[in-house]
């Protein structure tokens, strides 16, 4: 039996992993070791650099709290979250019917058990609700791949305030502000009122912020609304719709702006009208209804 050397250590680790009973776990871990060892051989980190890398990973967990998930944020700013979404979008496109909606990353601010509202309700209950020039009317329709309306689908929405803060980040906003769940009618339609969201910087007070500053990167995301659409018998659609006039559409720090997800945030110009409106169509694919783990409580 040969002793471990610089040249054979990767092979020895892979040999041990061959004993893993779960075929998918075996495949994933072998690939991880190949790429990880290849990365180490390429950059040849010094001992202090390796220690710093370990400290960064530990700090991601230490900086995660009920207000933010630093691990998810790291995945987002490295483009990993969007790449996974794009790969899975492509898989769905291979087997989808006539229509398809593209998914987008969940982000670090989704909360489970948002309040349920009747269609037409207003989800803005904080100080921002008095900004009449920022009134935001949102409507949409949920369809199956053949274009048939889906009745009874739940549409979970959440977004930042006009100041760029989610409710759990802002002591001035009441609990669950700018969040809500709506149900589609017989025509697959839903609608609600809110205030127009603003673009915002991702949290920069933790290790991800340190990395962004070291790379001299803009921490901002363009304005958007998150949607999670679900019904038994269909896959859960997690996506975002971005404001078409936001100057940061091509510099999103999380790399998540897909062309199909840029929606018309139209100014209301009729007599006595103010604010903005958005109308967007969502398509659910048949499959298992499986929800993600909430990044924050």
How confident is the model over 161-205, as pLDDT tens digits? 999 999 988 899 999 999 999 999 999 999 999 999 999 999 899
Q: Are 199 and 246 in contact (CB under 8 A)?
A: yes
Query: How would DSSP label each residue in 226-278?
Result: EEEEE-TTBPPEEEEEEETT-TTTT--TT----GGGEE--EEP-STT--SEEE
Would you state the pLDDT for residue 210? 96
Would you state the pLDDT for residue 134? 82
Would you state the pLDDT for residue 132? 64
Would you state the pLDDT for residue 16? 93
| pLDDT above 70 (res 1) | no
Query: For 121, phi and psi rounded to 5 degrees?
Result: -75, 165
More confident of the two residues 67 and 131: 67
Would you state the pLDDT for residue 61? 94
Any alpha helices (H) in the chain, and if so which ranges?
9-17, 23-43, 47-63, 70-77, 80-95, 207-214
Give Cα separations from 282 to 134, 147, 150, 279, 288 (angstroms). 24, 10, 10, 10, 17
Mean pLDDT of the chain: 92
Q: Tell the residue number behind the tokens 């659910």, with chain if given.
A: 284
Q: Where are the domains of the chain?
A: 9-65, 74-283
The pLDDT tens digits of the residues spanning 41-57 come to 999 999 999 999 999 99
| pLDDT above 70 (res 206) | yes
| pLDDT above 60 (res 65) | yes
The pLDDT tens digits of the residues spanning 237-255 come to 999 999 999 999 999 999 9
Would you state the pLDDT for residue 128? 79
Alpha carbon 198 to its chain's center: 16
More confident of the two residues 224 and 169: 224
Would you state the pLDDT for residue 89? 86
Q: Distance (Å, rounded) from C-alpha 202 to C-alpha 220?
A: 6
SS3 state of residue 180: strand
Would you state the pLDDT for residue 204? 94
Percentage of residues in the chain with pLDDT exceeding 90?
80
Q: Tell the residue number behind the tokens 């149900």, with chain if given.
A: 183
Would you state the pLDDT for residue 88? 87
CATH number of 74-283: 2.60.130.10
- Bridge partners, residue 239, by sequence: 227
- In sequence order, the 6+-apart residues with CB closer than 8 A to the CB of 243 are 196, 197, 199, 222, 223, 224, 262, 263, 265
| pLDDT above 70 (res 97) | no
Q: Distance (Å, rounded) from C-alpha 22 to C-alpha 291?
A: 24
| pLDDT above 90 (res 222) | yes
Q: Please state the pTM of the whole predicted model.
A: 0.87
Q: Are 115 and 176 in contact (CB under 8 A)?
A: yes
- What angle (nearest 5°) sits at the alpha carbon of residue 136, between those of residues 133 and 137? 135
The pLDDT tens digits of the residues spanning 15-39 come to 999 989 999 999 999 999 999 999 9
Q: Give me the mean pLDDT over the 260-282 stretch.
A: 87
Percentage of residues in the chain with pLDDT exceeding 70?
96
SS3 state of residue 51: helix
Confidence band, pLDDT 50/70/90 cuts, at residue 95? low
- Other Cβ atoms closer than 10 A to 213: 11
Mode of pairing for the β-strands spanning 224-230 and 220-221: unpaired
Would you state the pLDDT for residue 67? 76
Confidence band, pLDDT 50/70/90 cuts, at residue 98? low
């Amino acid at each position: 039996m040969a002793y471990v050397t610089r040249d054979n250590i990767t092979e020895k680790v892979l040999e041990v992993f061959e004993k893993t009973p779960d075929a998918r776990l075996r495949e994933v871990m072998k690939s991880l070791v190949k790429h990880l060892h290849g990365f180490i051989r390429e950059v040849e980190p010094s001992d202090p650099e390796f220690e710093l890398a370990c400290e960064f990973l530990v700090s991601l967990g230490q900086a995660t709290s009920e207000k933010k998930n630093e691990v998810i944020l790291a995945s987002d700013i490295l483009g990993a979250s969007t790449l996974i979404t794009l790969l899975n979008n492509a898989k769905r496109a291979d087997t989808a019917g006539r229509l398809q909606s593209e998914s987008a990353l969940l982000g670090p601010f989704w909360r489970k058990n948002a309040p349920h509202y009747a269609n037409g309700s207003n989800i803005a209950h904080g100080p921002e609700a008095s900004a009449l020039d920022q009134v935001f009317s949102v409507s949409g329709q949920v369809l199956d791949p053949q274009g048939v309306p889906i009745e009874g689908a739940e549409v979970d929405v959440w977004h930042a305030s006009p100041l760029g803060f989610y409710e759990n980040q802002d002591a001035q906003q009441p609990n669950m502000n700018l969040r809500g769940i709506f149900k589609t009618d017989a025509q697959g339609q839903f609608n609600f009122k809110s205030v127009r969201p603003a673009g915002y910087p991702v949290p920069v007070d933790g290790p991800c912020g340190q990395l962004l500053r070291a790379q001299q990167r803009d921490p901002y995301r363009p304005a958007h609304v998150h949607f999670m659409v679900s019904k038994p018998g269909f896959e859960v659609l997690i996506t975002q719709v971005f404001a078409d006039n936001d100057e940061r559409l091509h510099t999103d720090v999380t790399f998540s702006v897909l062309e199909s997800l840029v929606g018309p945030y139209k100014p209301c110009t009729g007599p006595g009208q103010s604010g903005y409106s958005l109308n967007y169509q969502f398509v659910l694919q048949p499959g298992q209804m499986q929800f993600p783990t909430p990044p924050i409580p």
